[in-house]
Chains A and B, each alone.
Chain A
Amino acid sequence: MNSFTPYSDGSSLVLLGRFNSQARPSAASLFLMRVSTGVPTLVTEVPLTGAVTDSRLIGNRLYVLSNDYLQRDGT
């Protein structure tokens, strides 16, 4: 799991991880956490496509590179 702190006030944390339910088992997801008085809470989750290979945080935008394996005849 990768982590980023997108805002300079240290109040937020972005985690790149995997979804943990039967709906999208082991699928990549981004989790935005807010930390208030030491207590983390989940603000939102963004489902991601494919298997994450790398990422870059530029400003407040996170660029996530992944590989999406396509099922096609003969492949």
Chain B
Amino acid sequence: MSEAVLQVIDLANPAAPLTLPGNSTALQAAAGYLLVGTDQWQDGAEQARLHLIELAQADGAPLLRKSFFLTGAVVDKFKIGIVKGAVVATTLDWSQGHQETWVETFPVTGTDTAPLARMELVGARGEQLHATRYDGERLYVVTFRNTDLLFVVDLVDPAAPFLAGTLGIPGWSSYIEPLGERLLAVGMESGRVTVSLFDVAAPSLLSRLPLRTAGSWSEANTDEKAVEHFPDAGIILVLFQNYTTEGELKAVAAIRVGWDTLTAEALIQHAFNPRRGAVMSDYFVSISGQELLVLDCIRNTTGQPEVQVTLAWTTDRVIPLGDYLIQVEDGGGNDWAGPPMRMDVNSAEGGGKHSVLRVSSAADPDELLANWTSGRAAWSA
């Protein structure tokens, strides 16, 4: 058994936490309120609830205003919001033995907890619920079974929502970002990461850009922080990996977002899976667990980063040498991850990975003085 706990940390004066029955599923902030979704197993059935919490108190302490019973579960934060004075939830219900997607609305004010409206997206019956996004008086919902269905729900009157349009295309979208009359989406199509641009005024697919070949995958499919749109620069950065017979590509794709088209702008390749990217002035900046790369997005035509900062590295063995340490990265005898690393200068000929020797002072092992890859020295200081 579990309970959801909402803790407020005013760093000078932490307030008492608020506890809610059940397991928390989502947290969203909107219009001066927090919305918390919970699931609780009760009387042999799963009961989903949405809690409306006011933040108007001077000390920031959360005040539970009311809780709504939902038809289905809230699976992530993009499924809940406040639109025109109504709490709106897009929920997934399995109770009938198949998946049903519901749009449910409730009043923000007063004490009434009865729904204003409950509308099933009938066309989504039996489909998996994927990305959703609220944009003003519109709600976008993506579901998938054989094709990606994009539903546009009009919430101009939250007591009477209606389906304004649908569009079916191959694949599914895991992240969507409204851009007025356009909708930017990242998802999967034919086993590869795909970025799509939709017209939502008359729902249609305008442009689609697959990221390499089948076998690619993006962290953006499960974490929206792995995709970032920079409207001032007109660029979306999508992190992805692509596993092919030629090897593994770990990269950040910089894609120019036009009014009707998507265009590949740059590919920033990492040695380790990239995690986050940003456009800063004229530069693409991206970071992995091992390195930070900076690419001049105006003047660079080679795709090679202007700046490469090593943040962390693997050391399999350490050889003390006077006041210095030789840190050896050679796989440590573990060959489960692929061909073993080789210490000779022509290691690539043997199909093995390059081994790396790094030199630091014994007093500060984190400060690199030099490193060698397959015998070639690259002095860093």
Seen from chain A, the residues whose Cβ lies within 8 Å of a Cβ on chain B are 6, 14, 30, 32, 44, 46, 48-50, 53-56, 58-70, 72, 75
Contacts of B60 in A (CB 8 A): 58-59, 61
Contacts of A64 in B (CB 8 A): 6-9
Interface of A is mostly: strand
Contacts of B14 in A (CB 8 A): 46
Residue of B3, B5, B17, B19 ringed by the most chain A CB atoms within 10 A: B5
Given contacts A6-B11, A62-B8, A63-B34, contact A53 B3 (CB under 8 A): no
Contacts of A65 in B (CB 8 A): 4-7, 24, 27, 36
Contacts of A60 in B (CB 8 A): 10-11
Is A67 a contact of B2 with CB atoms below 8 Å?
Answer: yes
Closest to B76 in A: A54
Residue of A44, A48, A59, A65 ringed by the most chain B CB atoms within 10 A: A65
What are 10 A-B pairs at a CB distance below 8 A? A53-B25, A54-B26, A58-B55, A61-B9, A61-B10, A62-B11, A64-B8, A64-B9, A68-B19, A70-B1
Given contacts A55-B27, A58-B29, A67-B24, contact A50 B5 (CB under 8 A): yes
Is B2 a contact of A63 with CB atoms below 8 Å?
Answer: no
Contacts of A54 in B (CB 8 A): 24, 26-27, 77
Interface of B is mostly: strand
Is B9 a contact of A46 with CB atoms below 8 Å?
Answer: yes
Count how many chain B residues have C-beta atoms less than 8 Å from C-beta atoms of the other chain: 27
Given contacts A53-B27, A55-B27, A69-B1, contact A63 B10 (CB under 8 A): no
Contacts of A62 in B (CB 8 A): 8-9, 11
Q: Which of B2, B6, B8 contacts A70 (CB 8 A)?
A: B2
Within 8 A of A (CB), among B1-52: 1-11, 14, 17, 19, 23-29, 34, 36
Contacts of B27 in A (CB 8 A): 53-56, 63, 65
Contacts of A53 in B (CB 8 A): 24-25, 27
Contacts of A56 in B (CB 8 A): 27-29, 34
What is the CB-to-nearest-CB distance from B76 to chain A, in angstroms, rounded to a whole number? Answer: 9
Contacts of A46 in B (CB 8 A): 9, 11, 14
Is B7 a contact of A70 with CB atoms below 8 Å?
Answer: no
